[in-house]
Each structure stands twice: as C-alpha cells, then as structure tokens.
Amino acid sequence: MLGVVINGFHTFEDFGLGWLQGGFELSEPEIQTHYVEVEGMDGSLDLTEDLSGRPIYKDRTLKLTFDSPAGTYEAYTALCSRIDSRLHGRRCEITLDTDPDWFYLGRGKWSHTKDADGVETHVFTATVEPFKYYRDMTALTVNVDGTADVVLENSMAPATPFFTTSDKDMRVQQGSAEYSVLPGTDMEIYGITLLEGSNVLTFTGTGTVTIQYREGML
C-alpha cells in the first residue's frame, strides 16, 4: 500500500496507516517580494531579485492525512505514542511513495483523533523548505593538468558542491573568489554556490577532482 517515508519510517509498513485519497496538501511557497514606490513613476519599482539575482521563497506547508483500522482505545493510544515518540516535532526527511526520487526537508508534527464511531485519523503537518531535493547527488569527475574550466548544470535550487581530490595543491575558482581544495573526501566550500543554469568553476592543479551536488526544484 502507498505511504510516506519519514526519517526512515514507512507510514503503512511501520505503523499500519492508510494514506487517504485526497490526503495530500502542499502549499505553494510564497515569494519574498520587495516593491518600492517612486514619486512620479507609474506602478512601483520591483527590487525582488536585486540582491539575490533570483526569486527567494518562504517555507511551505505539507499536510498528509491517514487512517488506521478501528480498534480498542488501548491499541489506539499505543499507536499514537509509537508514532509521536519517533516522529513528532523532529527535523525530518519526507519521501512520498508517489514521488520516490525526491524528498522534502522540514519539521513535522502529528495530531490524532478517534471519533464516536471509532474512526481513527492521523494528520502529519510539516513546515518544509520551499524546494524538494533529488535523492541522488549529481556527480562529475574531471582530470586537471594545469588549468581546467568545468561547467556544472544545476536545476532551480541553489547548491553547495562537495569536492574530493588527492592533489594537495588543487585550487578552485568561481568568479573572482579562489579556494584551496584539501585532499580527502567530500570537502564542502560554502563560498561556492551553484545557481540555476550553467555554472563555471576553474580548477588549477594536477590530478583528479570529483564534484558532487544535490539538485532541487519546486
């Protein structure tokens, strides 16, 4: 049966919850806008993308609704406690069985009801980041002998890449900023950001460099 994986727990396989038809709601992320009224100008001046060069989005709300087989109050309260102890209020990674290649990141909470007819309903509500993220990292390995320009194609969400090299003198440049890439595995350089579209990184050194980054979209 279809369900949702939250921090490694499957809602049906681990808790016996049935994902209700229509039990999926995901709000559109609100855009952080900045308009300035200028005297003598029709309309307003849109400065929304002036600082970032792209739209900036606020968090969105994900709501999932489930039911469980009617049982005793003892079984119901035990189930609620089992769910809450593992998942209520925690930072979580959320993957829908209907969209298994992507996941959401956020913080979720649960609410539970059992009505007079014994119908048991469980609602998971999470405040999540605006983007969903691709499960597999995008990876590229290049050989550098002197200087090499590498073009990285990225989707909508800004990404910070990880670098792996065995060359102790390897350096990477984005724009006017240059950084040393230390030998080892998965070095993250926070000064480098991959934006939507083509991103050029220039490597200087001798050896192999592996670049990994996670793509995301709305």
Q: Which of 92, 74, 91 is nearest to 4 (CA)?
A: 92
How large is the average pLDDT for residues 133-142? 96
Q: Which has the minimum average pLDDT: 15-19, 37-41, 74-78, 152-156?
A: 37-41
Given this structure, which CATH class describes domain 4-132? mainly beta
For residue 39, how many other CB atoms are within 10 A of its CB? 4
Q: CA 145, 147, 151, 152 torsion: positive or negative?
A: positive
Assigned CATH for 138-217: 2.60.120
Please state the φ and ψ torsions of residue 128, each to the nearest 5 degrees.
-120, 160
Would you list the domain boundaries of the chain?
4-132, 138-217
Would the pTM of this model clear 0.85, i.e. be above it? yes
CATH topology identical between 4-132 and 138-217: no
Instruction: Answer whether 102's CB lies under 8 Å from 62's CB.
Output: no
